[in-house]
Amino acid sequence: MKSTKPIRVLIAKPGLDGHDRGAKVVAMALRDAGMEVIYTGIKQTPEQIVQAAIQEDVDVVGLSCLSGAHNTLFPKVIKLLRQQGADDVIITGGGIIPDEDLPYLTEQGVSRIFGPGTSTRDIVAYLQGAVRA
């Protein structure tokens, strides 16, 4: 029997970046697609993000970063999640992330980066496919 459990997504803004319009747009699109979305708000530490992800039993953590600290913050969130045994949580990223940083982030465990201009339909489709796989 096919599972009808909604996909649970945590959208988080690690670091000191105070701009969250894109994260809110993505959160609303995921909600509109039937996913359960938890938005942590701005200026979250990696520890706060991981604690929320564990408590909420999410399938996906979507990290948004515009400050340039993605190469430090994203791997730290991933490391902390793995230390908590959350190896099955899918990590995605978004924001202003230079193409030259993508291989490093992928190596660290980010499954996909969604840059500016990415269609919310593409994000929904990717998450649906990744979680169901």
63 is a domain residue: yes
In a domain, residue 1? The reply is no
Tell me the per-residue pLDDT of 79-104, one tens digit each, with 9 for 90 and over: 999 999 999 999 999 999 999 999 99
Is the residue at 44 inside a domain? yes
The sheet carrying 60-65 orders its strands as: 36-39, 8-12, 60-65, 90-95, 112-114
Q: Look at residue 27 and tell me if it is in a domain.
A: yes
> Could you read off the pLDDT of 103-128 as tens digits, one per residue?
999 999 999 999 999 999 999 999 99
Q: Cα-flanking dihedrals φ and ψ of residue 108, to 5°?
A: -75, -15
- CB neighbour list of residue 64: distance below 8 Å, 6 or more residues apart: 11, 12, 13, 17, 20, 22, 23, 26, 93, 94, 95
Number of domains in the chain: 1
Q: In this structure, is residue 2 part of a structural domain?
A: no
Domain span at residue 30 reads: 8-132
Q: What tokens does 49 get?
A: 């993000």
Domain assignment of residue 3, yes or no: no
Q: Is residue 116 part of a domain?
A: yes
Predicted structure pTM score: 0.94
For 34: left if phi > 0, alpha if psi spans -120 to 50, otherwise beta; the answer is left
Assign residue 33 the CATH number of its domain.
3.40.50.280
Q: Of 31, 39, 30, which is closest to residue 12 (Cα–Cα)?
A: 39
